Amino acid sequence: MSHDLPPQARHESTQLDALRTAGYEADFEIGRHGLAISGGDAVPIADVHIDREYRFEGASDPDDESLVLALHDSASGRLGVLITAYGPSASEGEADVLSALAANERCVSPAAPPSLG
C-alpha cells in the first residue's frame, strides 16, 4: 500500500477514496471534547498533524465550504481523514479544532513526503 498523498480531486468522495488507498483509513471527528478517532476516545490535538488539506466548495453555493484533511496522530502513528466545514459555515467547535491543528508545528510523518514537513 502506498502512502503517497494524492493530488486534489474534483469531488470529496473521490478524494476520500484516494486517501483510503494511500493508507488514511481512520476517521477523525470533531465532538464535544475536541478531536477523536471515530468510535474512540479523544485524541490530543497537539499529537495530530495535517499532512495535506483539500478544499471544496458547494456546486450551487460557493459559501458551502468543506475541508478534507489527511491527518496523522504522531503518538499512535494512525493515519486518517477529517471532513469538516470551514469559513463562515464552520461551527465554533470546528473553528476551534482547525485553529488548534493549524497552530501545531508541521512535522513529517513516516507516510508524508519530506516536502510537507
pLDDT of residue 110: 46
User: What is the domain partition of the chain in residue ranges?
Assistant: 27-106
**For residue 106, which phi and psi values (nearest 5 degrees)?**
-70, 130
pLDDT of residue 24: 96
Rounded to the nearest 5 degrees, what angle is found at the Cα of 53, between the Cα atoms of 26 and 50?
Answer: 60
pLDDT of residue 23: 95
Separation between Cα atoms, residue 32 and residue 36, nearest integer Å: 10
69 vs 34, more confident = 69
